[in-house]
C-alpha cells in the first residue's frame, strides 16, 4: 500500500480584493473555497482537520498554511513566524467534527478555509492609541503593512518542507467510522500519535494548482 496518498487542491477566493483603508477583524472574512480530491490511494483516508491546511477555523495572525506571491516580483511578503512543538501524542476532542474522510475516485469535497482578516493580540490596544493598525492585521499570516497598494498577489500553498507539522499532523487509512470502532472510541475524545517530521515517510502529500489572485486596493 502506498505510504503517501496525495490530496490535490483547486481553489477560488470569496473576494478578489483586500482593502487597506477599510480592513478590520470585523470585515467579512476572506476565504479560500477548496476542492479536495484524493489521489494515489487504494482506499479512503481520514485526516485531522485542526491544525492542518484544511482547517475551517478562523484565520490565525501568526501562522498560515498559505502564503502570498507578488505577481510583479515573484516574492513572498514577510509572514509572521511562530515556532512551537507539538507533543508526541495529541487528543482529538470531538472526532465527529475534527476528522474528515476522503475517498479515492469520488467527487471532490468542498471546504472553506479562512485566510483573514486576522488581528494580533496588540490590535485593540494600538487602535485605541490611534496608532497605524495595519502591522497588526494580517491575511494568510502576512501583515497588511507589507502589501503594496495596487499590487496583485497569488494565494499559494506554502512549502512546508523542513517545517513542523507539515500539511496535517495526523491521518490514517480507512473511514472515520471504522477507525473509531477499531480504537474503541465512541463519541468521546481520541488520543493519536502525531507525525513528528515534515520529512516523515508517512507525511501526506498535498498539491495545489495555480492559486487565485487578489488585488490590494485603497
Average pLDDT over residues 52-68: 88
Q: Give me 25's grid cell.
A: 477583524
Phi and psi at 179, nearest 5°, equal: -65, -45
In a domain, 190, yes or no: no
User: pLDDT value at position 181?
Assistant: 80
Range of the domain at 67: 6-85+99-181+197-217
Q: Is residue 164 part of a domain?
A: yes
**11 part of a folded domain:** yes
Within a domain: 104: yes
Answer whether residue 43 shows pLDDT above 80.
yes
Q: How far is residue 144's CA from residue 130's CA, in Å, rounded to a whole number?
A: 17
In a domain, 186, yes or no: no
217 pLDDT band, cuts 50/70/90, is very high
Tell me what the mean pLDDT of segment 208-216 comes to: 93
Residue 91 within any structural domain of the chain: no
Cβ(154)–Cβ(77) below 8 Å: no
Dump pLDDT digits (tens) for 86-120. Answer: 556 677 778 888 889 999 989 999 999 999 899 99
Is 161 contained in some domain? yes
Q: Are 169 and 51 in contact (CB under 8 A)?
A: yes
Query: Can you give the pLDDT at residue 195?
Result: 59
156 part of a folded domain = yes
CA separation (Å) from 139 to 16, 167, 188, 216?
A: 13, 19, 34, 11
CA distance linking residue 139 with residue 21, whole number of Å: 14
Q: Number of folded domains in the chain?
A: 1
* CB-based contacts of 72, cutoff 8 Å, min separation 6: 151, 152
> Which positions ≥6 away from 113 have C-beta within 8 Å?
31, 32, 33, 34, 53, 54, 55, 56, 66
**What distance in Å separates the CA atoms of residue 58 and residue 64, rounded to the nearest whole number?**
11
Q: CB atoms < 10 A from the CB of 202, how many?
A: 13
Share of the chain above pLDDT 90, in %: 39
Check residues 49 and 190 and name the one with the higher pLDDT.
Answer: 49
Pairing of strands 205-208, 6-13: parallel
With a CB cutoff of 8 Å and minimum separation 6, the contacts of 115 are 29, 30, 31, 32, 59, 64, 66, 139, 140, 155
Between the CA of residue 128 and those of 123, 124, 133, 143, what are the distances in Å? 9, 6, 10, 19
d(CA 191, CA 174): 17
Q: Which residue is it, cell 501526506? A: 204
The predicted pLDDT at position 110 comes to 95
The answer to whether residue 130 scores a pLDDT higher than 50 is yes
User: pLDDT at residue 1 above 60?
Assistant: no
What pTM was estimated for this model as a whole? 0.84
Whether residue 86 contacts residue 164, with contact meaning beta carbons closer than 8 Å, is answered with: yes
Q: Which three cell numbers stand for residue 67?
A: 502564503
Which three cell numbers, joined as nine digits, stand for 113?
A: 478555509
Amino acid at each position: 500500500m502506498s505510504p503517501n496518498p496525495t490530496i490535490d487542491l483547486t481553489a477560488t477566493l470569496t473576494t478578489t480584493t483586500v482593502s487597506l483603508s477599510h480592513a478590520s477583524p470585523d470585515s467579512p472574512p476572506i476565504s479560500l473555497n477548496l476542492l479536495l480530491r484524493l489521489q494515489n490511494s487504494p482506499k479512503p483516508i481520514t485526516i485531522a482537520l485542526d491544525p492542518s491546511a484544511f482547517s475551517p477555523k478562523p484565520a490565525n495572525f501568526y501562522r498560515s498554511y498559505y502564503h502570498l506571491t507578488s505577481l510583479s516580483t515573484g516574492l513572498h511578503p514577510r509572514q509572521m513566524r511562530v515556532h512551537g512543538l507539538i507533543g508526541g501524542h495529541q487528543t482529538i476532542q470531538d472526532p465527529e467534527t475534527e476528522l474528515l474522510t476522503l475517498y479515492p475516485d469520488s467527487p471532490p469535497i468542498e471546504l472553506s478555509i479562512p485566510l483573514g482578516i486576522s488581528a494580533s493580540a496588540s490590535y485593540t490596544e494600538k487602535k485605541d492609541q490611534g496608532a497605524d493598525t495595519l502591522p497588526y492585521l494580517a491575511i494568510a499570516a502576512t501583515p497588511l503593512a507589507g502589501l503594496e497598494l495596487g499590487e496583485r498577489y497569488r494565494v499559494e500553498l506554502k512549502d512546508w518542507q523542513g517545517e513542523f507539522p507539515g500539511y496535517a499532523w495526523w491521518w490514517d487509512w480507512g473511514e472515520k467510522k471504522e477507525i473509531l470502532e477499531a480504537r474503541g472510541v465512541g463519541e468521546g475524545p481520541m488520543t493519536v500519535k502525531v507525525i513528528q517530521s515534515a520529512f516523515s515517510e508517512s507525511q501526506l502529500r498535498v498539491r495545489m494548482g495555480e492559486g487565485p489572485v487578489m488585488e490590494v486596493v485603497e
